[in-house]
Amino acid sequence: MIAARLWEIRADTAAQLSLAHQLFGDVPMIGRFENFLRQYPSGVLFSQQQLYVAQRLLVDHARDGTMGDAFTFDDGVALSMLIVHAPDIIDHAHPGLRKGAASLVEAVAFTIQAGAFDRRPQLMHEFARMYEIFYRRARDDERAVQFLDLWATEDTRLSLEQQLAGGFGYRAKAMAPEGQPPRLPSSITPPILRETRLSSAEPALLEALSATRAWYQEQFGSEGEQDIVDVAWEVQPFLRRPFLTLASGEVVQCSPSAATDWIGAGVYDRLRESAKRRKSDAHDTLSMFGEIYGDLVEDYCLDLVRSVLPTDKVHGEQSYGRGGGLKTSDIAIDLGPDLILVEVRAGFLSPWFRTAGRVDEFETQLERLVYTKLDQLQRVVADLKSGLAAIEGVDTSKVVRIWPILITADLMVSDMLWQLIDDRIPAVLREAPAQRLLIGGIEDLEWMVGLVERGHDLVAVLDGRLRGGFGNLEFKRWVQEIEPEGATPSFVEANWERTVKTMEDALGFSRRP
């Protein structure tokens, strides 16, 4: 219930203070909370990570019981202390940061790790994108169509559509209607899909969505296999099974963020795990899955941009060089004196880094997700300048400015990140005609397209971001500045409509009269 409430008020300081009053009553600690918020008006009292830590410790140490058991005063005190002191575990997992003795790379690794933990995408964008890539485009790819559905059915006894619709159904059941307080107790008594086409598939859906306490304990490992960093950061079991199965047969949502991830990015995670299970010396299914996913994401991004700009101005990658062994950027946008080059790196930060947060693994992630693509961008820019490379239909002699953009994993872009990577930005990307590099995620590209659709000039958007002092910040911060209500493009809205229609078909009903 607390996690569900926090999902709605994660950045609302007044609402968080009200929640603290509800949880702890009129105690001296509330006064300290009020003083903290007066000193730090944008601060928060509770975080999703804090509650995940508490849940993790409850999985390991709480006594068994049922939803109907009496909740004693001592139980309330113990739970309150657990929630309040859970952040101490996070602090102690990073002694260097706690003591102010962290290096720049350690500090940036922590902010990127924390940003990935607290990741909260725009839900329509993420759900519609995952549907478009895995449910629609993959079926038009002769490589993917042979195995994606097969893997899903073999591993879960559910089609991808059944996973999508069933996951949405359980998430919706666990959440209160918009504007109403969370349900208490927030338990669900299956079956809930008996009146739908998923009735016979619901047992398989519950196996894929939920798990017993013993399963979580096994996944987290024994105490001897875990350390304080694992307790602070390991949430993968919750993400892979976002509902806890009670001894009574009821299920309880661990967290709205976990259930949301299961429907969105969790599709990628489950299929990647399916590929890992099938990997052998003879068949490298994991590499094959990564290659296909990368191609699907690149095609998605190209079609997204073409949805708002003339097709003769938007070019996909083209071969050049001896034997056509080199490629131009994934997307080139020809706007006369301005040429925008977009490199797309599909994928996510590795689960290992998101849990361990180690500097060496962070540097590996930077190499994989940033530096390799920067090298490609600098090669293309240099070869266009020298004439070695050409993009069909683009007169490079008229290009005055080149705008390099890297679309990669959802990294938290900040001044510290730029300080860290500055030395690795190739010289050709620092000098004319190249403009300031933009690093963002796919959602940022969607916002960019949405701004163009709303009448904003794309070059003016990119230039204004720099002139407005947002060059070192996440692109969505600039979007919020010029379009406070957001800018979801019709391309995404159309994908969302198809997503909803797919769920309706899987469930056997329609929201339309």
Q: How many CB atoms are closer than 10 A to CB 502?
A: 17
Structural domain ending residue among the three candidates 235, 261, 278: 278
246 in the same domain as 214: yes
157 in the same domain as 51: no
Show pLDDT as tens, one digit a residue, over the chain (513 residues).
667 666 667 778 888 888 888 888 888 888 888 898 889 888 888 888 999 999 999 988 888 777 667 778 888 888 888 998 999 999 888 888 877 788 999 999 999 999 998 888 899 999 999 999 998 899 888 888 777 888 989 999 999 999 999 999 999 888 755 555 544 446 899 999 999 999 999 999 999 999 999 999 999 985 556 789 999 999 999 999 999 998 889 999 998 899 999 999 999 999 999 999 999 988 899 999 999 999 999 999 999 999 999 999 999 999 999 888 999 999 999 999 999 999 999 989 999 999 999 999 999 999 999 999 999 999 999 999 999 999 998 999 999 999 999 999 989 999 999 999 999 999 999 999 999 999 999 999 999 999 999 999 999 999 999 999 999 999 999 999 999 999 999 999 999 999 999 999 999 976 554
Alpha-carbon gap, residue 223 to 238, rounded angstroms? 18
Alpha-carbon gap, residue 180 to 186, rounded angstroms? 13
β-pairing verdict for 338-344 and 331-335: antiparallel
Structural domains of the chain, count? 3
149 in the same domain as 26: no
193 in the same domain as 70: no
Q: For residue 502, give both structure tokens.
A: 């797919």
Domain containing 399 equals 308-488
Residue 494 counted as domain residue = no
384 in the same domain as 457: yes
| Dihedral sign computed on CA atoms, order 409, 461, 132, 372 | negative
Residue 104 counted as domain residue = yes
**Burial call 105-126: b when 16+ CB within 10 Å, e when fewer:** bbbbbbbbbbbbbebebbebbb
384 in the same domain as 267: no
434 in the same domain as 400: yes
219 in the same domain as 128: yes
Residue 270 counted as domain residue = yes
Structural domain ending residue among the three candidates 61, 93, 117: 117
CATH number at residue 456: 3.40.91
Residue 244 counted as domain residue = yes
Angle at CA 477, nearest 5°, toward 473 and 482?
130
257 in the same domain as 135: yes
**Contact (Cβ atoms closer than 8 angstroms) between residue 171 and residue 210:** no
273 in the same domain as 245: yes
